[in-house]
Amino acid sequence: MTTPLALKVNGNAVSVQVEPRTLLVQLLRETLRLTGTHVGCDTGQCGACTVHLDGRAVKSCTMLAVQAAGCEITTIEGVAAPSGDLHPMQAAFKEHHGLQCGFCTPGMVMNAIDLARSKADLSEAEVRGGLDGNLCRCTGYQNIVKAVLAGAAAMRS
């Protein structure tokens, strides 16, 4: 049994048939082949699947695809400029070595962009707290925090 679903992904209109139990992340990865969004856990803890839904960071493994009907989704593939130039937050992650294996990175960047938009002049403690829903096993977070602070500043300028 499938159900029709229409939404926007990275600016493109998408119209598909999905099983009702399909998770948003499954729609993105398997149906739309947007594999930049990752799955690291089954319990909403790791945040590797974070995307933007109508501009806010959400974990795409903890919502059904049909719940995104009519919404606008942005994934990591939709963040850089069409020219390929990195978004300021992406550039900050590169400059400050805020990634190693890269697996948590898309979720980190998506959450960081939302965090930066949510409040001007984030403190380091606010960034650390704001990243609570995103696990990284490689970096020890220090350079991610540095990158988010720098990326947020760059987004404001």
Partner 1 sequence: MSESLLGQSVRRKEDYRFLTGSGTYTDDVTVPGQLYAFFLRSPHAHARIRAIDTAAAKAAPGVVAVYVGTDLQGKVNGLPCGWLITGIDGQPMKEPVHPPLAQGKVRHVGDQVAMIVAESLNQAKDASELIEVDYEVLPACVDPAQARAPGAPLVHDDVPDNTCYVWGLGDKAATDAAFAQAAHVTTLEYINNRLIPNAIEPRAAVAQYHRGDDSYTLHVTSQNPHVERLLMTAFVLGLPEHKVRVIAPDVGGGFGSKIFLYAEETVLTWAAGQIKRPIKWTAERSESFLADAHGRDHVTKAELALDKHGKFLALRVHTTAGLGAYLSTFASSVPTILYATLLAGQYTTPNIYCEVTSVFTHTAPVDAYRGAGRPEATYVVERIVETAAREMKIDPAEIRRRNFITQFPYQTPVALCYDIGNYEGTLSEAMRVADVPGFEVRRKEAEARGKLRGLGYSAYIEACGLAPSNIAGALGARAGLYEAGEVRVHPTGKVTVFTGSHSHGQGHETTFAQVVAQRLGMSVEDIDVVHGDTGRIAFGMGTYGSRSIAVGGAAIVRALDKVVAKGKKIAAHLLEAAEGDIEFENGEFTVAGTDKKVPFAQVALTAYVPHNYPLDKLEPGLNEMAFYDPTNFTFPAGCHICEVEIDRATGETRIVNFTAVDDFGKIINPMIVEGQVHGGLTQGIGQALLEACVYDKESGQLITGSMMDYALPRADDVPNFKVSTQETPCTHNPLGVKGCGEAGAIGAPAAVINAITAALWPLGVRDIPMPATPQTVWRALQTAPKARSGRA
Q: CA dihedral in degrees (35, 40, 42, 46; nearest 10)?
A: -120
Q: Which stretch binds partner 1 (CB under 8 A): 1-9, 65-73, 88-96, 112-120?
A: 88-96
Q: Is 56 in the site for partner 1 (CB under 8 A)?
A: no
Which among 155, 87, 94 has a CA at the least distance from the CA of 122? 155
Q: Is 129 in the site for partner 1 (CB under 8 A)?
A: yes
**Residue 34: how many CA atoms within 13 Å on its side-chain side?**
23
Contacts with 127 (C-beta within 8 Å, 6 or more apart), sequence order: 115, 145, 148, 149, 152
Shortest separation between residue 138's beta carbon and partner 1, angstroms: 5
Separation of alpha carbons 106 and 108, rounded Å:
5
Q: Is 63 in the site for partner 1 (CB under 8 A)?
A: no
Output Rg (C-alpha) for the chain, integer angstroms: 15
Number of residues that bind partner 1 (CB under 8 A): 57
Q: Is 88 in the site for partner 1 (CB under 8 A)?
A: no
Shortest separation between residue 109's beta carbon and partner 1, angstroms: 7
Nearer to partner 1, 19 or 54 (CB): 19
Separation of alpha carbons 11 and 126, rounded Å:
31
Nearer to partner 1, 70 or 81 (CB): 81
* Binding region for partner 1 (CB under 8 A): 19, 21, 29, 33-43, 45-46, 48, 75-77, 79-80, 84, 86, 90, 93-95, 97, 99-106, 109, 124-125, 127-129, 131-132, 134-145
